[in-house]
Amino acid sequence: MAGGVAMNESRLFPTTAARRYDRGLHKSLKLNPPPPHVAVPQPTGYWPEENVVFLEQYREWLVSIGAAAAVINQHRLPMAGHVLGLNLKPHRQISLTNDFDKALCFVQARTTSASWQQNCQHSLNWFRRFVKEARGLVIRDTPSFGDGARYQVGLPSWLMEQLTKLLHIRQANWRPARLAQATYQFWYKTTRIWRWLFTHTLIQTAQDVTRDHLFCYIDEQLVAGYKVSTVNHDLHTFQGTLRFLQQQGIAVPHQLLTLPGLKKPQTLPRFLSNAQVVALRDDLIQQVKQAQTSSAQRNSRLDLAAFYLLWQSGIRVSELEDVRLFDVDLAAGVMLIREAKGLKDRSVYLTERVTTTLQHYLEVRGPALTDHLFIYRHKPLSKDLIRNRLRAASERLGFRVTPHMLRHTFATQLVNAGAKITTIQALLGHERLNTTMTYARVHDQTVRDDYFRAMEQIEGEQTDVLGPKLVSEDVFALLDKMEQEGLSDEQQQVLDEVRRCLTL
C-alpha cells in the first residue's frame, strides 16, 4: 500500500508534517485571522531546515506512543508548528517557557472556545515533553498513551480515592499491551459526568446528586451534538461508579441507579459486500505488484497479510497488533490469540491463502526489536496504523473500510455459508451468544433465499388460479386491425366480447 498511500496523500493532503502544517496555518489564518498587533507564525519555508526535520520527528514520536491521527493533525502538530513558526531559530535554542508562551498567546488572541484553548495548552505540554527528551533532560521509559491526570482536576479526594480503587480492580482484567491506553480511557470516561457535576452544581457528596442533575447533563450533551449512544455510555459508566461506591458503604440515591438511558435507533453493524471485499483484495494485491522499493514491498505485503487475517480469521485489530511469531503455526494453519478481550485465549484457523500471504510477508519482514508478527520500522505496530492504511485503500476505492468492518464481514459470510452460530461464537471469542447474533443478523443469505423461493411459489399459485393477467399488446393490435376491415354486426359483437374478456 505504500505506493498507493503516497499517490493518495499527494492528491488529498500533504505527505509531510511541514506541508500539513503550512496548509492548516493558511486555512486557519484565512478563516479566523488574529488581531493586527498579534505576531503570526511563519510557514515552514522561513524556518531553519533542522526545525522542519524536527517537526517530522515529532510526528513520528507521537505515532510511536499511540496518539490518534486526528489528535496529531488537529492539535499536536499545529501547536508545535506555532512554537517553531514564532521562533525562527534552531530548536535547541528555543526557550521552554517564554518561547512556548508565544504560541499560547497567539491562540488566546483569536476567537476560540475555552475548551479549544485548553486542548492547545495540553498539546504544548506534549511538545515540551518531546523537546526535553530530544535535549536529554528526561529519559523516556515506557510509551505513554496520554496524561489522565488532567481529568482528575477538581474532583474531591474522597471520590479520587474510590475511583483509584476501582481502577486497580479493572486493571486486573486488562491486557498488558493495552494497560496505558485503558488507564487513560478509564479516567477520561469514568470522570465525565463527575467533572460536569462538580463544575456546574453545588454537590459535595454522591448523596447530593439528583435525577434533575443528570437530566440537565443529558440535555446539554444532546444540544452540543453528542450522539445518543455516547450519552448513554456516559450514563452507564456513571451508574457503574455509583454501584461501586455503594459496595464501599457510601450512600447513593437509589433512583439514580434505575434511571434508564435514551432510546437509541436499532442500528446494524456495517460490513462489506462480496463485491467490495473482492475490490479491496484486488487493490491490495495490485499495490504489491506495483511496489518498486524494498520498503514499499514490505509495507504492501504487510497490508495484504493484515487484510486477510482480519477478513478470514475475524480477529480484532488490537489482537492482530499483539500476535507474536511463536503464536503462529503456518504448517498447521493455526494461530493463537493470547489474552484477548476478557484475558481469554483462543485459537483461530488460517486458510491456505492466509498462510501464503503471511509467508510472503515474513520473507521481507526484516529484523526487529520485538518478536511481534507485524512490525513497522523495526517496532511493534502503533495504534491506528492498520486503520489508517485501510483508510488510504478506501480513499482509492470510494467506499469506507475499517478493521472492524472486516470482522463484521467475516461473521456475516460464515452465517450465509451455513456455519453454526456456536462455531462463529468460538471463532470471534464472544462470551455471550447474543453478541454473535448481533454480528450475524445483518445480512442472512439463507433468509433472503427463503424469501424469494416462497414468493416464487406464491406467484406461481396465483397464476395457476387466476390465469395470466397480462396480454401482449400485439393481440390488441390484431383486434384493432380486424375492426378496420368491416365486420358484420354479429362479428362485431363477438369481437367486443373478446376485447372485454381480455381486459378483465
Torsion over CA of 85, 86, 92 and 94, rounded to 10 degrees?
-160
Q: Specify the DSSP class assigned to residue 372.
A: B
Q: Which of 444, 403, 413, 411 is nearest to 428 (CA)?
A: 411
Are residues 322 and 372 in contact, defined by beta-carbon separation less than 8 angstroms? yes
CA dist., res. 132 & res. 97, Å (int):
12
Instruction: Determine contact, residues 442/412, Cβ cutoff 8 Å.
Output: yes
- Identify the CA nearest to 481 among candidates 499, 468, 497, 502: 499
Grid cell for residue 140: 523516556
C-alpha cell at 151: 481529568
Q: Are 341 and 201 in contact (CB under 8 A)?
A: no
Say which residues have a Cβ less than 8 Å from residue 52's Cβ, sequence separation at least 6. Answer: 18, 44
Cα separation, 202 vs 401, whole angstroms? 46
* HEC profile of 150-195: HHCCCCCHHHHHHHHHHHHHHHCCCCHHHHHHHHHHHHHHHCHHHH
Measured distance CA(496)–CA(504) in Å, rounded: 13
Distances in Å between the Cα of 167 and the Cα atoms of 162, 185, 187, 191 are 9, 11, 9, 12
Q: Quote the Cα angle for 239-242-248, to 5°.
A: 150
CA distance 260 to 70: 33
Cell numbers given for 184: 487513560
| Closest among 193, 261, 203, 212 to 232, alpha carbons compared | 261
Q: What is the dihedral of CA 374, 380, 384, 385, to 10 degrees?
A: -60
* Torsion angle in degrees (nearest 10) through CA of 160, 161, 162, 164: 80
Catalytic residues: 316, 341, 404, 407, 430, 439
Q: Are strands 334-337 and 379-380 parallel, antiparallel or unpaired?
A: unpaired
